[in-house]
Amino acid sequence: MNKRTFIVRRAAPLAAALAVGGGAGAAIYAGLGGSSSPTATTAAPTVTVPAQPAAAKQTVSSLTQLYKNVTPGVVDIRVTGASNGGFGFGGQQTTQAEGTGFVYDTKGDIVTNAHVVDGASAITVHFQNGKTAKATLVGADDSSDVAVIKVSVDAAQLHPLTLGDSSGVQPGQSVVAIGSPFGLAETMTSGIVSAIDRTITSPNNFSISGAIQTDAPINHGNSGGPLLNLSGDVIGVNAQIESDSGGNDGVGFALAINSVKSVANTLISGGKVQHAYLGISVGDASGSAGALVSQVVSGSPADTAGLKAGDVITALDGKAIASASDLTASLSAHAPGDKVTLTVTHSGSTKSIDVTLGSRPS
C-alpha cells in the first residue's frame, strides 16, 4: 500500500514512525536515526564523458545560474522539540527535526510547512553563506500545512524569492526543487510537473486541494522548500511524497503558491486563517460522477442541513461535481458563512439542499 508521507526529517532518541491516519491516505512522520552523511567505501572508476551538444551545455548553464540566483533565499531549518516518553521511558524526550524554507520578504519572514515546525521549542535557520539565526514562529495553519517563521537579521542577509502564479502551471512544465534532503542542504533536483489539481491530506487530516504533483526527486528534509519554474519563480512549496519505501519514488506533491501566499499573508498580518467547513467525509462515487458522502459529523453544517451518509453530491451551486476532489476544490473557494446549494442524489431521487458553511475546526 502506498503511503502519503510528510517529508520533514525527524530524528528521535529511538527511531520511530508516528502515523497520522485519515483523509486521502495515511501520512507519516519518518523517524530517522544515525548520520545522514554519505560514506565513501570504494574509489569511483574513471569515466570518460563524451562532449555534449551545444543545446545540452546551454541547459546546464541556465540551471547553474538559476541555482546561484535562488539558493541565497533558501534556508535549512532545524527544530528542537519535545515529545512524551515512549518505549518504556518516562518523561519527555528531546526530538530533532530538519526541513527547508525560503525567504518571503525583507522583514525576515520565512515560509515553510506547518509540519516542519510542529511542536518546536527552538528553531534555528541556516543560510547558504553559513550564517545562522534563531527564529520565532509567526503562525501556522495545519489545514493548509503552511507556517511562517521570522528571523531578526541584517537586511543584506535576506534574499526573498520571486513568487510565481500557480494558476498557469501545466503538466509537462520543467521544474526544480531546492531543499535539504536527508540533511544535505542546498540540494537541487529537476523534473517536470506530472499533474495539477491533486488533493492531499493536511497534518490535521483535512483535504488540501490544488496540489502540484512532480517527479522532481524530493525526500525527507525537502519539506517547506520551493518548487520553482525555470525562471526561478516559486510555484509551489514541497510538502509530501507518495511512496512504498518511504523514499523518493518520483511522486511528490507541492502546495500551490497562490494558496500559500494567501495563508502566509494572513499569518504575517496577525489574522486567523479560516477555511470553509461542511462536515463530511467523502470519496468518489462508484459507477457514476459525484462525491459519495461516507460520514456526516454530528452537529456540523452538513448535519444541520440534512445530508446523510450514502448521499452523492453531483453539483454545488449548479456547477457539476465529478469527484471528491472536485467537491474539495469547490468548497476551498468559499469562506465560512457562505451559503451554497448542493444537488444530491440518493436511492434514485434527486434533491437540492441549502447549506451555510461553517469554519473548519482546528
Report the 10 Å Cβ neighbour count for 17. Answer: 14
CA–CA separation, 25 vs 201, rounded Å?
7
> Rounded CA gap, 362 and 202, in Å?
11
Q: Measured between alpha carbons, how far is 259 from 293 in angstroms, rounded to an integer? A: 26
Pairwise CA distance, residues 273 & 206, whole Å: 14
**H/E segment holding residue 314:** strand 312-316
Could you give the CA distance from residue 160 to residue 166 in angstroms, rounded to a whole number? 18
| Beta bridge partners of residue 298, listed in sequence order | none
127-143 burial string, b = 16+ CB within 10 Å, else e? beeeeebebeebbbbbb
Give which of 339, 344, 341 is closest to 318, Cα–Cα: 341
Q: Half-sphere exposure of 72 toward its Cβ, with a 13 Å CA cutoff?
A: 13
Residues belonging to the active site: 115, 145, 223
Distance CA 334, CA 357 (A): 8
